[in-house]
Amino acid sequence: MGAPLNMSSTAVIINRATQIFEDLSFSAAREWKAAQPGRKVVGYLPIYVPREIIHAAGMLPLGIVGGGDRLEVVHGDAYYQSYICRIPRSTVELGLSGRLDFVDGMLFPSICDVIRNLSGMWKLMFPHVYSRYFDVPQNYADEIGGNYYVNELAELRDDLARLRGAPVTDDELRHAIALYNENRQLVRELYGYRAEQPWQVPAAEVHLLMRAGLVLPVEQHSAMLRDYLAAARLVQRPRRDNCRIVLTGTFCEQPPLNLIKSLELAGCYVVDDDLLLVTRWLTSDVPVEGDPLRNLATAFLHHSESTAAKFEPDQREKGQHLVRAVRRTGAEGVIFACPSFCDPALLDRPILQHVLADAGIPCIAFKYAENSGQMQPIREQAGTFADSIKLWSGR
Partner 1 sequence: MRTYVGIDLGSTTTKAVLIDDDSRVLGRGITNSRSNYATAARVASEEARIDGRFTLFHRALQRDGDPGDRLELFLAALERAFRLEQFQEQLADLERTCNGQFRGGRFAELEAGVRRALDEVFKRVRSEVAAMFAPGARRKSDFFRDIAGAHYYTHAEAVGRELSLPYEILLNIYDKSILEVENRPPAGDLSGKFRRALQKILAEDGHIGQQAAHLQHVIEDTLDVDLEDGYLVGTGYGRVTLPFSKEHIRSEILCHGLGAHMMYPNTRTVLDIGGQDTKGIQVDGDGIVTSFQMNDRCAAGCGRYLGYIADEMSIGLHELGPMAMKSDCPSRINSTCTVFAGAELRDRLSLGEKREDIVAGLHRAIILRAISIISRSGGVTNEFTFTGGVAKNEAAVRELRQLIKANYGDVVININPDSIYTGALGAAEFARRAYEGGARQEAQA
Partner 2 sequence: MTTAAPAARTPTRDVEKDASMQKQKAMMAAHYDRLTSAPETGAKVCSTFVPGNLNELIGCFDLLNNLPEVNAIQSGLRRVSGQYVMEAEKIGHSEDVCTYVKSDIGMMAKGNIAPNGQKFPNPDVLLLSYTGCFTFMKWFELLREQFKCETIMLHTPYMGDGRFTPNMIEYMVKQLRDEVIPKLERVSGVKFDIDRLRERLKKSAQAEDDLVHVLQTARNTPSPIDAYFGGIYYIGPIFGAFRGTDDAIDYYRFLRNEIDERLAQGRGPVTPEGDMGRERYRLVVEGPPNYTHFRQFWKMFYDEGAVVVASSYTKVGGVYDFGFRHDASRPLETLAEYCLGVYTNRSLPMRIDMLTNYVEDYRADGLLINSIKSCNSFSAGQLLMMREVEKRTGKPAAFIESDLVDPRYFSAANIKNRLESYFQMVEQRRASARTAA
Q: How far is the CB of 274 from partner 2 (least distance, A)?
A: 16
Contacts of 281 (CB under 8 A, 6+ apart): 47, 48, 304, 305
Which 326-345 residues touch partner 2, going by CB under 8 A?
338, 340-344
Question: Residue 220 and residue 154: Cα distance in Å, rounded?
Answer: 27
Residues 50-67 as b or e (16 or more Cβ within 10 Å = b)? bbbbbbbbbbbbbbbbbb
> Pairing between strand 268-273 and 243-248?
parallel
If binding is defined by CB under 8 A, does position 360 make contact with partner 1?
A: no
> Least distance in Å: CB of 254 to partner 2?
18
Q: Does position 78 bind partner 1 by CB under 8 A?
A: yes
- DSSP alpha helix (H) spans, 283-342: 292-302, 320-329
| Among 77, 142, 305, 387, interactor with partner 1 by CB under 8 A | 77
Min dist CB 256 to partner 1, Å, is: 9
If one asks whether residue 124 binds partner 1 (CB under 8 A), the answer comes out as no
Out of 12, 18, 145, 364, name the contact with partner 2 by CB under 8 A: 145
Q: Select from 146-154, 210-218, 225-233, 298-306 the region that touches partner 2 (CB under 8 A).
A: 146-154
Instruction: Pick the piece of the chain touching partner 2 (CB under 8 A) from 33-41, 135-143, 268-276, 284-292.
Output: 135-143
Fill in the amino acid letter for 32: W
Q: Is 270 in the site for partner 2 (CB under 8 A)?
A: no
Region binding partner 2 by CB under 8 A among candidate stretches 93-101, 119-127, 220-228, 289-297: 119-127
User: Are 252 and 337 in contact, with CB atoms under 8 Å apart?
Assistant: no
Q: Give dist(CA 241, CA 81) in Å, integer.
A: 43
Among the listed residues 81, 236, 315, 393, the single contact to partner 1 using CB under 8 A: 81
Whether the link from the prior residue into 47 is cis, omega within 30° of 0, is yes
Q: State the virtual CA torsion across 84, 90, 94, 97 in degrees, nearest 10.
A: 90
Shortest Cβ distance from residue 372 to partner 1 (Å)? 7
Burial 320-329 (b: 16+ CB within 10 A, else e): ebbbebbeeb
Please give the single-letter amino acid code of residue 296: L
Considering the rule CB under 8 A, would residue 74 count as an interface residue with partner 1? yes
Binding stretches for partner 2 (CB under 8 A): 78-81, 83-84, 88, 108, 110, 112-114, 116-121, 123-125, 132-133, 135, 137-139, 141, 143-145, 147-148, 151-152, 155, 308-309, 311-313, 315, 318, 338, 340-344, 346-351, 353-354, 367
